[in-house]
Structure 1
Amino acid sequence: MAKKYLILCALCICIAPFAKAQQYGLFNTRTLFDGFENPAQRTFVVDSSRKFASNFFLPNLGINAANKGNSDLIRRAINEGTYSAKDLVLGSGDINTIHQNTNIYLLTFRIFQSYKFQKELGFAWQLRSDAHLDYTNETLAILDSYRRFVGRTPYDDVFNNDGYEQSYHQFSVTYRENINKRLAFGAKISLLSGVTYNRLNITDSYLLMDPTNNLINVRVKGAYKASFLETDELSHKTAAPNFRNPGISLGFGTSYTAKNGVFMMANIKDLGFIKWGKTAYVNNISSEVNITDLSQKSSSQIESELANIATDESVNKSFYSLTNAKADFMISKPFSITYSFSYTPGLVVSKNLFYKGGDAAFVNKFKYNTMALSAIPTYNFNGLFLMGIQGMYQTPNFEIFLGSDNLFKTVTQINGALKQDHTIGTGYNGASFYMGVGIKFGNTVEHAQNTSTIPGINDQEASFFKRIFSVFSKKR
């Protein structure tokens, strides 16, 4: 079973608890999450907030995934623990899709540095994972039983799967400042420590079950890379950050608030790579195999031989992988209904730069004093429609939020799993959940008119980004 998992490049995500983590409802909320994900964003309020902020290891996470295609089979596997591909249509050329993202902020710490330029410096430890897989019906069928193919005509391109899975620790430093009252810049630099990686790309495949001659003929061409081959290579030591698989990523962003209140934000996030060590595996697959004496072998033996095709000639070799970099853009404008109540609509577009996927979301935020409720319909570029909802309580020194990017699918998925009933729910499978807590402490960040000790009020202080821009302008 371990080799099946590896060959199908994280296909087991289908039958695990659905665990994409964008949380668009948190954009432009000035929460800790917003400040670390969108580096130009402010998180402190002058005259109200304390100088330091952290989550103190309290939950600050987002987990989300969806599977499009063969929904009943996947739903039965999740809800009832039964896996059967006997009714699956073969030879149709159907391609199914899984995508998954997880983003967990284990620890955050942020400092208000200066009033004059609204400088903020932050440090964070995250655990990230991303996956995307396009897979065929025949892949699910061979997982169930090779006998599904007995007596049928030859199949071309039956195992042409393309996908990856990657997880890593991310240790980051963020810095932001205002260039003027309306324009801000921010940057985020991170050291990465890879945990797991699997990449499978099958470009040509062929299968023939020949019961007359008591053999199976299989041909596969493609490429396979992995950080491990057997599941027993994984342990708690693998999950802990150790930098045996080091990497680096960069992010930067800007925001602008117009006089009429229109807010615009743009970001490039997690632009980087990981170098997987010499103990990783690489296999350029080009194999044609005949599995003979079928009557003398058990089903598990035959399935093991099929699984080994992608891994048998793997060699230890270092390689590089790209992180799942994204480009984000947001535009929004608040409307005050009453003194205490406001409505802020916002449009967010996010696109993966190196891998498949992206979203377009319409954020509708309704705020009453310290309470806010957001409704977020989203179109995912994998052809999925999601409906998100978010609740938040936020003061200048405390915030707590809870939400889902895919509310209706999450409810039916949980309901079906609890009742162990695959008939609950229709359409694609998916679930999403996120939550977070942030606390500020220390001295109050006071306005210059209220104190003579506020940092950043002196003639020597300069803007970091202005100095950078002036260097480039002088060179020209």
Structure 2
Amino acid sequence: MKNILLAFCFLLISLASFGQQFSQYNTGTLFDSFENPSRASFIPDSSRQYAFNLFIPNFNSNVYVTGNGQAPLKSRAFLGKYAGAGLTLNQGRFSRANVSANVYSLMFKSFRSLDGNQEIGFSVQTRADGRGIFTDESLLLLNNTGPFTDRSYDNIFNNSYTYQTYHQFSATYREQVTKNFAFGIKLSALLGIQYQQLQIDRSRIDFDRVNDRADLSLQGRYRINFTPGEFAARDILPNFRSPGASISLGSTIRTRDNFNIQLNVKDLGFIHWYKKSITSNFNTTRTIQNISGPRREDNLYANTFDIIRSGDTQGSYVTPTNGKLELSANKSYWLDYDKRFKYSPTIVLQKEVFYDGYTAALVNPLQYNNLVGTLTTSYNNFGLFNAGLQFMVKTPNVEFYIGSDRVVQSANLFRAGVGKSDSQINKSGSFTGADFFLGFSLKFGNVIEHPMNASFIPMGERPGFLKRLWDSVFHPKRDDGS
């Protein structure tokens, strides 16, 4: 937790993070069916009965930092120093950092009935969500105290961040209720790993240049569920100290003009962190010595950490998961008479339930036989525009995909990390980010066949539970007209 005012944001730069991406929408992959519960992953008369990822992790990566803090954080990550270029003082400028994590280590699904068109499955995944806001002055102080010419400054260190990681064990059920309506549900048990939350509401610093020291005052709240420095690899393994639960619901409606309208409520849930977790409501002042010396960074960290832990009390608390609401529309077009080229654009609107984030995305996959290339563009409420590419090989029984939803930013960050030159590191656009995803799964077992075409024993004709419930409510006519 080095440099508590902003270390979280610095760690985002070098963290291998995994999170939400849009390129998989309406691809029919196993990953897509677990993330969007109403999506089918099997194709009758083509697919085999079981789908499995063979314990090969399916993941994506997503991290970004905005504002004037981009160059200083990259410089600190790659060169071991803070660059002060572009940082402002007393102008209310801040930078924003965001990361979310999602790695599927196990995915398994089974097709249960042709007439009911039911799919059931289970998965094991690990997730993380983090976001932070930090001021220009926080980085400026770590770089050099020279720009702070006044004796006192108020509320220039009002930073905040939240970080949460947990395991997720899920069971899913999907049914094609009618020809034009499908419904899916994903129920999950959560096991918390880590939680940290810092909110600084008031801050003040008073410089004593003669004695090369400063008085730092902070007021706010800090929460953590583990002891820094004592967290070990074994603590990553699932345990029942911090349980929780979440639910995802999805529905797909096919309109008369062949549009697929999809509505999802994703990962709406909570985690109850165990009774030895710490909450600190702090309002404390500490004196920082050697404010301009070579150990300035260590001194700032030690005193800031001492302040935010000054009001420690033990006790459990409940935090929400990063739930999302999503609405999407998709339609497919064949571009040639032989039906080799297919274009299937999808527009997605996403809103975070407990935070202020929202995003609009346009997914443009072009398919030639079993090869798919996808261009994805997105724009969010923070003014960030992303462009990504995906390559996929998809047959009814094998799927592999690789890509990035932030191609340019990922390449720039990679060059800065490898080249480690000041010119590359100081080059900043509207944001610094990275994104990478990779996935694989296959299907095995008997081919799912309709009875008239079956070379194996048919899958059965009993309707699913939702279909039977639908029929009992709306009383559809039978084939004999009764």
TM-score of the aligned structures, taking structure 1 as reference length: 0.91
Equivalent residue for 1:258, pick from 232, 255, 259: 255
Q: Which moved more, 1:304-313 or 1:388-397?
A: 304-313
Partner in structure 2 of residue 275 of structure 1: 272
Equivalent runs, 1:402-417 vs 2, <5 Å: 402-417=402-417
> 2: distance between equivalents of 1:110 and 1:62?
20
Identity of aligned residues (%): 33
Q: Which residue in the other structure is 1:203 paired with?
A: 201
Unpaired stretches in structure 2, ≥5 consecutive residues: 476-482
* Structure 2: distance between partners of 1:58 and 1:295: 50
Per-residue Cα deviation, 1:206-226 (whole angstroms, up to 9, x for no partner): 111123576523322211111
Q: What is the aligned-residue RMSD (CA, Å)?
A: 2.6
Q: Which amino acid aligns with 1:414?
A: F
**Among 34, 37, 41, which residue is 2:35 paired with?**
37
Contact 1:271–1:324 (8 Å) recurs in 2: yes
Change (3 A) 1:245 1:157: same
Identify the residue that residue 443 of structure 2 maps to in structure 1: 440
* Contact 1:185–1:465 (8 Å) recurs in 2: no
In structure 2, the partner of 1:185 is: 183
1:351 deviation in Å?
Answer: 1.2
CA distance in 2, matches of 1:60, 1:384: 26
- String of CA shifts for 1:295-342, please: whole Å, max 9, x gaps: 999643454123311112212211111000001111011111112111
In 1, the alpha carbon distance for the partners of 2:93 and 2:180 equals 50
Most deviating of 349-358 and 108-117: 349-358
Counterpart secondary structure, 2:178: coil
Q: Output the amino acid matched with 1:449.
A: M
Q: Distance in 2 between matches of 1:412 and 1:389?
A: 15
Q: Counterpart of 1:136?
A: 135
In structure 2, the CA distance between the partners of 1:411 and 1:302, relative to structure 1 (3 Å rule), is closer
8 Å contact from structure 1 (residues 50, 442) kept in 2: yes
C-alpha separation between the residues in 2 aligned to 1:250 and 1:450? 38
Match of 1:46 among 44, 49, 52: 44
Aligned length: 467
Structure 1 residue 381 displacement after superposition:
2.3
Aligned twin of 1:431: 434
2:22 corresponds to which residue?
24
Indicate the residue corresponding to 2:330 in structure 1: 332
The 5 Å alignment of 1:199-348 reads 199-212=197-210, 215-230=213-228, 232-290=229-287, 299=296, 300-301=298-299, 303-338=301-336, 339-348=339-348
Would the aligned equivalents of 1:156 and 1:206 in 2 still touch at CA under 8 Å?
Answer: yes
The one-letter amino acid of 2:332's match is: P
SS at match of 1:46: coil
One-letter identity of the residue aligned with 2:376: I
Instruction: Tell me the equivalent position of 1:454.
Output: 458
Deviation readout 1:61-100 (Å, 9 max, x if unpaired) = 0111000012222232344343344763222211110001
- Whether the 8 Å CA contact 1:221–1:286 is kept in 2: the answer is yes
* Gap change, CA 1:197 and 1:472, over 3 Å in 2: farther
Return the offset for 1:355. Answer: 2.1
Gaps of 5+ in 1: none
**In structure 1, distance between residues paired with 2:53 and 2:33:** 13
Contact 1:131–1:163, Cα closer than 8 Å, also in 2: yes
Match in the other structure for 2:94: 95
Amino acid at match of 1:269: K
Q: Secondary structure at the match of 1:179?
A: strand
The 3 A distance-change label for structure 1 pair 421 and 214 is closer
